[in-house]
A and B are shown apart, each in its own frame.
Chain A
């Protein structure tokens, strides 16, 4: 079946512009995560959505970052007034949290370059 998809795959933007990154999780997955991965680095947790619970935003690096998840499915990560240090690969993952369904399925990522 279809896996996690993300769009766009690549985004080049000028410093100061806003960007929106989209994630389509696997249908029926209640948990959705956003991570940031700089070149050669680990997975930096950004935000976590779980069902109807309030999202865990503890990883968002500044108030320029926000995310929403509409209807418990698609999620968008918005970065306002982008800075060069925002350049990274943004990964989305979803899972069937609970019971035996804990595997996280990652999307291919969006490579963001801020010039």
Chain B
């Protein structure tokens, strides 16, 4: 079955700098890659997703890139702010097969003042 690896497990960046979180997946049939953010004490929420027919997607300060050949995808956060501090989870799934979403183990992002 699908396996999603995520790194780093913890990341600290200065406020205003950029943060990058990377994930790899094992099943080349995976075609949907969401990212979820979980703030302390709250439930995970979708922040951005990308499908395999595109290589990059942006939403304000957040961007995701996908390299299907290498089977990896990344989350980029620019101009980081204190409210970006959270745990971020990447995930992969195969749409229109079993649709099951497999999560990575998460990255705890600390924004330093």
Contacts and interface: CB of A to CB of B under 8 A. Distances in A.
Contacts of B95: 98, 102
Interface stretch (B38-46, B52-60, B62-70, B72-80): B38-46
Interface stretch (A20-28, A61-69, A70-78, A104-112): A104-112
Nearest to A58: B1
A107 B104 contact: no
Interface residues of A, number: 24
A5 B103 CA distance: 21
B105 A42 contact: yes
Interface of A: 31, 33, 40-43, 45, 48, 50, 53, 56, 58, 91, 93, 95, 97-98, 102-104, 106-109
A-B pairs, top 4 by smallest CB distance, nearest first, are A106-B43, A97-B99, A42-B105, A42-B106
Given A42-B104, A43-B103, A48-B100, 13 more contacts: A42-B105, A50-B100, A58-B1, A91-B43, A93-B44, A95-B101, A97-B99, A102-B32, A104-B36, A106-B44, A106-B45, A107-B43, A108-B43
